[in-house]
């Protein structure tokens, strides 16, 4: 094995870390958008139509329809005359669209377009739009119900709410359409008999309003989903390719998506979301994968979709400076790759899973520049050649098969991987478990032989080794799409809850969904499957999603983005005090990510709380943002205590990434817990030691705390880093805090001070030396 020398790590940086010459260059080029460098002329009005429509209280969709089909359309806009954005729009059947988020009533958009027409490109005049000012018909007052409607055994107490401040709500209970003269809503109403409740909301000073409907049937429990389509409309952000399409056509669409989602400075916190799905067959294309992009095959097994080319993530942009540490929020899944040149490159950081892939060659996990990447995740994958991490700081590979492995900086972790290196931590820093104790591959969409869409639900595995599909099709069952409600643009918490209450599973398409009420998953074996990084944003301080203490719920492919009013928790699995065993059919939380700040000035006390026993947490990233849009980060701005709290017993975490929370980042109170792989950074922005003490005598907060009453817990392959760049005098007393008992055991763990910005005094409890200079780890092989 070739060992490469680890250089000092460069922390991820947002706008504050942009070099001056790049900032000046951005200002010089800001008005140019993303369009090719060709001559530009003013456009004549008959060449196009354009409009802006409010799609929610905080979002507006800009639309542009050229008379002559265009190869590209860029929109340029400012909100309240500040922070110009230049973005590639998405083509939806000849109409190009882009949704602006984060708006408030009265915000003014100044916008204009650059578009291609038969070779040359043209600029339009500037246009204006005011959010909530009537616009072009946006519904800015939208009532919602809790519960959302459905069939119930008993009477229901119904509350009606609206996200728009000062809205007046009136309602009817006989199915008639309410108006300004209908009964005024002043508080909860009781529905004692089957009825249709309609609510009318009108916000003061706004001309637009909306009517929402909820049907309540009293006298039974809905047990099955009303039949949906097996060939559904997945909406404008899901693009499905067929091998009968020309390679040039597919390549042009993939390139358009990448150009829109490529730039770290503009796309990283945009509202764009996209999924590129390939039906079974062979494709001669190369797919560069940008932010908020999912690439997946639609075969039942990976080799039913073959890409003769590369599925690539690299340090694409000049502003990246060869560094891949901000390559978040993208995924590849369920296909085979014959890489050009023999090597595919997947140089990512957090929240970028690589699953169910058959790589006929090598897989490079580092940028072509050999610059830093920050940690990632591979599962259920086969690499016939060499998989190489090189400059990756930490990496986790689960239930896979490798021809060989190369690389190791601080901690490379493997469980159930055939062809993994030997367990040699810390020199080389490889942590290896022969099997994964319990695992279950993710649910995924595929097309059956009749052209109908289904979702495969893989079976539970114990002591797994190698890909689930190594000996044939992945064992499991499947559900038709007729049992899934497809969530897409226009859906609200009320419509989603209504589908759940009727017994539907959810297939959540790419988009940003603001929630005026909590999503309630109450039925055993419910599947909530997202693709293209669909994002749930709780408004008004509600908790985004709550899962009952039931068997077999599967959550996959979701991003929870904290709203500006504090939520107590973004996702809760099981109520407090849950004690039922779910060992035979656990709830799984897979590729589920949490963000506090960055896009919005988000706030949430906790991100994920797991009260149910036997749950499997398989690849999460809980991130309190250290960089982002202006005004969205800061010690008192994007506030969050804890990323993960586990109260359930016998919970397993495989691939746990938790960073920058302001108190204990992980608290594990349940008995029998296990973690395989943990990557953490302490908060960067601690102002001073007095503001960050877990007790009068203990500096800081442990990144991973096992509760004092826990008698059995085990963890492998953990790392915690500090980078106190606001105040390098800050110290954290220890990275890991655990009760001193023989049943609590830790293996292969370390702490690091990045560029010596602050210190961690001990690794675990009072064991392990203070972090030294030189971005050098302090390793502990085992504890106690």
Task: Name the residues annotated as catalytic.
Answer: 681
Distance CA(323)–CA(317), nearest Å, equals 9
Residues for the chain: how many in total? 784
Tell me what percent of the chain is helix, strand and coil, each rounded to the nearest 5. 10, 45, 45
Please give the order of strands across the beta sheet that includes 48-54.
48-54, 60-66, 95-100, 90-92
Q: At 178, give phi and psi (nearest 5°).
A: -75, 160
Which of 541, 545, 544 lies closest to 565, judged by CA? 541
- Please report where in the chains the tokens 């909100």 appear, as a residue: 79
Using DSSP's 3-state secondary structure scheme, residue 53 falls into strand
Name the token pair of 100: 């602006």
Distance CA(360)–CA(377), nearest Å, equals 19
User: Do 571 and 604 form a contact (C-beta atoms < 8 A)?
Assistant: no
* Chain CA centroid to CA 450, Å: 32
Name the token pair of 591: 């590729």
User: Do 754 and 784 form a contact (C-beta atoms < 8 A)?
Assistant: no
Name the token pair of 76: 């340029």
* Chain CA centroid to CA 705, Å: 25
Cis peptide before 307 (omega within 30 of 0): no
Name the token pair of 647: 């109260």
Name the token pair of 414: 């493997």
| Residue 422: CB atoms within 10 Å | 9
Distance CA(557)–CA(532), nearest Å, equals 8
User: Do 515 and 548 form a contact (C-beta atoms < 8 A)?
Assistant: no
Residue 210: strand pairing partners: 201
- Per-residue HEC secondary structure of 455-480 comes to EEEECEEEEECCCCCCCCCCCEEEEE
User: Do 552 and 585 form a contact (C-beta atoms < 8 A)?
Assistant: yes
For residue 461, give Cα distances in angstroms to 298, 458, 648. Answer: 23, 9, 20
Alpha-helix runs per DSSP H in 183-293:
247-261
User: Do 461 and 469 form a contact (C-beta atoms < 8 A)?
Assistant: no
Cis peptide before 534 (omega within 30 of 0): no
Burial of 726 (0-12, 13-18, 19+ CB in 10 A): middle
User: Do 758 and 730 form a contact (C-beta atoms < 8 A)?
Assistant: yes
| Residue 190: CB atoms within 10 Å | 8
Using DSSP's 3-state secondary structure scheme, residue 755 falls into helix
DSSP state for residue 632 in the 8-state scheme: S
């Amino acid at each position: 094995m070739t060992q490469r020398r680890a250089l000092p790590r460069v922390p991820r940086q947002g706008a504050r870390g942009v070099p001056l010459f790049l900032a000046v260059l951005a200002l010089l080029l800001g008005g140019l958008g993303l369009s090719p460098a060709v001559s530009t002329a003013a456009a004549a009005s008959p060449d196009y139509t354009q409009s802006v429509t409010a799609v929610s209280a905080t979002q507006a969709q800009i639309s542009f329809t050229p008379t002559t089909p265009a190869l590209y359309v860029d929109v340029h806009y400012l909100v309240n005359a500040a922070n110009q954005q230049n973005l590639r729009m998405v083509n939806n059947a000849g109409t190009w669209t882009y949704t602006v988020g984060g708006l408030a009533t009265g915000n003014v958009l100044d916008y204009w377009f650059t578009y291609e027409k038969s070779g040359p490109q043209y600029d339009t005049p500037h246009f204006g739009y005011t959010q909530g000012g009537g616009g072009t018909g946006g519904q800015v007052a939208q009532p919602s119900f809790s519960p959302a409607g459905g069939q119930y055994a008993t009477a229901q107490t119904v509350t009606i709410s609206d996200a728009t401040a000062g809205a007046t709500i009136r309602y009817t209970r006989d199915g008639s359409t309410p108006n300004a003269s209908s009964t005024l809503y002043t508080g909860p109403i009781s529905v004692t008999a089957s009825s249709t409740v309609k609510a009318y909301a009108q916000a003061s000073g706004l001309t637009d309003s909306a009517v929402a409907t909820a049907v309540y049937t009293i006298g039974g429990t809905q047990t099955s989903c009303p039949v949906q389509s097996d060939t559904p409309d997945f909406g404008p952000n899901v693009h499905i390719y067929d091998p009968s399409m020309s390679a040039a056509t597919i390549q042009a669409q993939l390139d358009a998506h990448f150009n829109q989602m490529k730039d770290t400075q503009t796309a990283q916190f945009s509202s764009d979301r996209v999924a590129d799905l390939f039906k079974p067959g062979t494709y001669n294309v190369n797919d560069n994968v940008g932010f908020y992009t999912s690439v997946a095959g639609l075969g039942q097994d990976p080799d039913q979709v073959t890409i003769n080319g590369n599925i690539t993530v690299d340090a694409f942009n000049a502003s990246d400076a060869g560094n891949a540490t901000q390559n978040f929020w993208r995924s590849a899944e369920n296909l085979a790759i014959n890489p050009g040149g023999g090597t595919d490159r997947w140089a990512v950081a957090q929240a970028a899973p690589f699953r169910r892939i058959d790589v006929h060659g090598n897989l490079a996990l580092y940028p072509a520049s050999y610059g830093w990447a920050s940690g990632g995740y591979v599962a259920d994958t086969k690499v016939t050649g060499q998989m190489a991490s090189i400059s990756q700081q930490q990496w986790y590979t689960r239930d896979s098969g490798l021809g060989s492995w190369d690389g190791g900086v601080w901690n490379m972790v493997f469980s159930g991987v055939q062809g993994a290196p030997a367990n040699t931590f810390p020199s080389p820093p490889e942590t290896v478990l022969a099997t994964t104790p319990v695992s279950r591959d993710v649910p995924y969409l595929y097309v059956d032989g009749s052209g109908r869409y289904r979702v495969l639900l893989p079976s539970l595995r114990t002591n797994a080794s190698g890909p689930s599909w190594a000996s044939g099709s992945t064992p499991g069952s499947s559900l038709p799409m007729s049992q899934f409600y497809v969530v897409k643009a226009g859906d609200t918490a009320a419509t989603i809850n209504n589908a759940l209450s009727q017994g539907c599973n959810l297939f959540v398409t790419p988009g940003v969904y603001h929630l005026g009420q909590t999503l309630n998953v109450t039925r055993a074996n419910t599947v909530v499957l997202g693709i293209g990084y669909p994002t749930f944003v709780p408004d008004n301080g509600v908790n985004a999603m709550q899962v009952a203490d039931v068997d077999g719920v599967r959550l996959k492919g979701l991003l929870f983005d904290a709203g500006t009013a504090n939520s107590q928790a973004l996702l809760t699995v099981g109520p407090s005090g849950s004690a039922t065993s779910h060992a035979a059919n656990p709830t799984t939380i897979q590729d589920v990510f949490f963000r506090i700040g960055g896009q919005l000035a988000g706030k949430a006390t906790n991100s994920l709380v797991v009260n149910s026993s036997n749950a499997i947490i398989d690849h999460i990233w809980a991130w309190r943002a250290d960089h982002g849009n202006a005004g969205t980060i800061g010690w008192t701005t994007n506030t969050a205590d804890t990323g993960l709290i586990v109260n359930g017993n016998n919970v397993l975490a495989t691939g746990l990434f938790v960073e920058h929370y302001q108190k204990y980042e992980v608290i594990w109170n349940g008995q029998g817990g296990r973690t395989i792989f943990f990557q953490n950074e302490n908060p960067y922005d601690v102002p001073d030691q007095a503001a960050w003490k877990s007790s009068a005598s203990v500096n800081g907060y442990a990144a991973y705390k096992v509760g004092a009453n826990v008698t059995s817990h085990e963890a492998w392959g953990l790392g915690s880093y500090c980078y106190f760049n606001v105040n390098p005098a800050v110290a954290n007393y220890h990275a890991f805090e655990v009760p001193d008992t023989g049943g609590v055991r830790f293996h292969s763990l370390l702490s690091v001070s990045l560029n010596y910005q602050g210190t961690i005094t001990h690794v675990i409890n009072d064991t392990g030396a203070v972090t030294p200079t030189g971005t050098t780890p302090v390793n502990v092989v085992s504890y106690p």
